[in-house]
Structure 1
Amino acid sequence: MEGEDACRFRLSDLNRRIDYGTVYVCEYCQVPIGDTNDWSGEHVDDNVVLLKAVSWFVKRGIQVTSDDPEDAGSKYLPLSCRKCDNLLGKFYSFTPTHLNYKLDLYNIDNTVIRGCKLGENLQKKISASETPFTLETCHYYEDEIKKEMVVLEMLQDKLLQLEDDILTPADQSP
């Protein structure tokens, strides 16, 4: 009986966040930017979400030295959306000591992203009777497939992480 209790698995052992299924999408073109699996925190005063990683749809610009009084002397890379070129936030490569919480994180502006729960409909579906199949609609479907592939890759990574957590015993001692 004692050995049976030692092998019992509890979901609480995974230290899961309640909102694991949230994907951040660009407010303007709806491409996935990141998800809560890479969530590091948020800074309410700056109105940013701090992410450890982002999707391929986020591109980094050329390094800039800030002259803004609030982060003077900081060096950052502006972040923008690959699809619509909208400015998304900053990636700080150097900060003064009091801003170290922003260092090496993607600081994404809350006003240009939207959080969507997995399974939520991001856009109204186009019915086949309303839209003819043209080259333009073909591009639309290709873009939608690319978005879904990025979300699928994020989910596959998370599944692998969960499988490793489940299959690796919590206590490795003999």
Structure 2
Amino acid sequence: MAKRQIDHAGHKDDTYVVSESLSDSGSKVEDDGVGENDAPAIFLCGKCRLPFGDSLSWAGSDDEQNQILLKRVNDNVVIGKEPFVSGTSEELRGLVVNLTCRGCGFNLGHMYMSTPKSLDYKRSVFCLMVENIESYVLGSPDQQMAAVDREERPVTLEYMDNVEQQMTKIKSLAVTVGQRLLEIEVDLQCKSGTT
């Protein structure tokens, strides 16, 4: 029986990798081509928005379970140490561990450690629940504006330069108005002193 192994040691970029030695024959996974023709998508924790993976490690999706499957995630996903039996029917039971967010502890999904034959395609793959994650496509302008609120927008050098230019104009206008008021005051004093 072929099996997949998770390897974390020795990777410079702190990622978990699933080695490919299991055939996908008979799997229910639908590979909808994410990452092949489209811009890459980044996947984030649905609660704290910590990034944990991208569509370049896409392994497919399971529409029945509302899951996406990834071959690779970064160190922001914590793989549980206590396996438990999952599934309601005898033929779909498997031994799984929870996948949680390192930042907030939110449940992102699970990973099958042992499966019945019908679920072999999910063994040692990161099964992430769509309702518990967020995603955005790189280079998508509408996502960029939606992700950062106006008050929370980071201060950039370009933004600071623009603010300084506006402040200089306001200071100049204030000095001009102040000088004009002083002239009017002097004129009023001169006129009231002569009458």
Provide the TM-score with structure 1 as the length reference. 0.59
1:124 maps to which residue? 149
Whether 2:54 is the aligned partner of 1:29: answer: no
State which drifts further: 16-25 or 27-36: 16-25
Residue 41 of structure 1 is matched in structure 2 by 60
56 and 98 in structure 1: CA distance in 2 versus 1, 3 angstrom threshold: same
Larger radius of gyration: 2
Residue identity opposite 2:114 in structure 1: F
For residue 114 of structure 1, what is the aligned residue in structure 2?
Answer: 134
Superposed CA deviations along residues 129-167 of structure 1, whole A, max 9, x for unmatched, are 9xxxxxxxxxxxxxxxxxxxxxxxxxxxxxxxxxxxxxx
2:96 is matched with 76
Unmatched 5+ stretches in structure 2: 1-34, 156-195
Q: TM-score, normalised by structure 2?
A: 0.53
Classify 1:67/1:127 alpha carbon distance in 2 versus 1 (closer, same or farther; 3 Å).
closer
- 1:84, distance to aligned residue in structure 2 (A): 1.1
| Paired AA for residue 112 in structure 1 | N
Q: Percent identity?
A: 27
* Cα offsets for 1:30-84 (capped at 9, x unmatched): 1112110000000000100000011211101123231532432x11110000111
SS in 1 for 2:72: coil
Question: SS at the partner of 2:56?
Answer: helix
Contact 2:86–2:95 under 8 Å retained in 1: no
CA distance in 2, matches of 1:86, 1:59: 10
RMSD: 2.0
User: Unaligned 5+ residue runs, structure 1?
Assistant: 1-15, 130-174
Change (3 A) 1:92 1:128: closer
- Counterpart mapping for 1:49-60 below 5 A: 49-60=68-79
